[in-house]
Homo-oligomer: A and B are copies of this chain.
Amino acid sequence: MDYNTLYSNIVNKGSFLTIGLDPTRELLPSQFASSKYPLFDFNREIIDATSDLAVAYKPNLAFYEAEGPLGWRQFEMTVEYIRRRDPSLFIIADAKRGDIGNTAQRYASYYFDRVGCDAVTLSPYMGEDSIAPFLKYSGRWVIILALTSNPSAEDFETNSVVAKKDGLKNSVQSPLYERVVRRAMEWGSSENTMFVVGATRSQQLGEIREIAPSHFFLVPGVGAQGGSLQEVIKEGMGERCSLLINSSREIIYAWRGADAQGGERQFAAESARVAKSFLSTMGESLKRLQQRSQEL
């Protein structure tokens, strides 16, 4: 899917919500206890209830990998189902892979050729060698970890890195995540590269937006992890939206929430209710965006 198509889908749906499909078997509603494909059956009902509200789905592979070969089968069934349900949905394999050369190529071949995902999340630690094989696929995306929303992002991601400025003896410092963004912008373009930037760090979100004005950011951590949706939009929205806001547990486990009604049998309706709660703020910000672009 190219940038313009993704942006059109966002405008048409009035949504840049990404739903993380991260099911743990033991936490599913009891009606799935005897299912052969519990993760898939659960996902399917979530997708049915939310596909009009979300512009993207993001299965995190850990939750499928944990179940062995049958888990992987259910990941593939989930992607297939999303495609059948609505071909305009953007599908992100949240794999956070990072390996080199022919090994990276094997991962790329799986997620893009075999399963047909639109994007895969990658860890930048090993540098360009671990990203480049994915960038050969036209119309597919890498989503590179830049600044994540977890507390220990400060172990390394926010470390000050020294870079020597060309032609100057003086050196300049910048956080590692900023260097990751700048380097990755040299490997690919805003047409095939996105960055993960956590919602819990809205000030840095604004700074990264200055560095990468048109790249899409995948933003986890809104809601459950404490980030404010309005704050993220204010700091992170680009001229063509360029935001994908992810929510996982808060949506898929909505029926466990304090204000849930109807219990586990109504789990999908509860998911839709929480998903919908993101949309008024998103819709308003998209309207403002379009007004601004018409005024220009």
Contact = CB atoms under 8 A, between A and B. Distances in A.
A52 B278 CA distance: 60
A127 B110 contact: no
Given A63-B103, A72-B72, A127 B152 contact: yes
B152 A65 contact: no
Contact of A150 (B101, B106, B176): B101
Contacts of A130: 150, 152
Interface string A179-210: 11001000000000000000000000000000
Contacts of A150: 100-101, 126-127, 129-130
Contact of A127 (B69, B153, B179, B183): B153
A178 to B, nearest CB: 12
Contacts of A153: 126-127
27 contacts: A24-B106, A62-B97, A62-B103, A65-B107, A65-B110, A66-B107, A66-B114, A67-B110, A68-B72, A68-B110, A72-B72, A96-B97, A98-B98, A100-B148, A100-B152, A123-B123, A123-B125, A124-B125, A124-B156, A125-B125, A126-B145, A126-B155, A127-B151, A128-B152, A130-B150, A156-B179, A160-B162
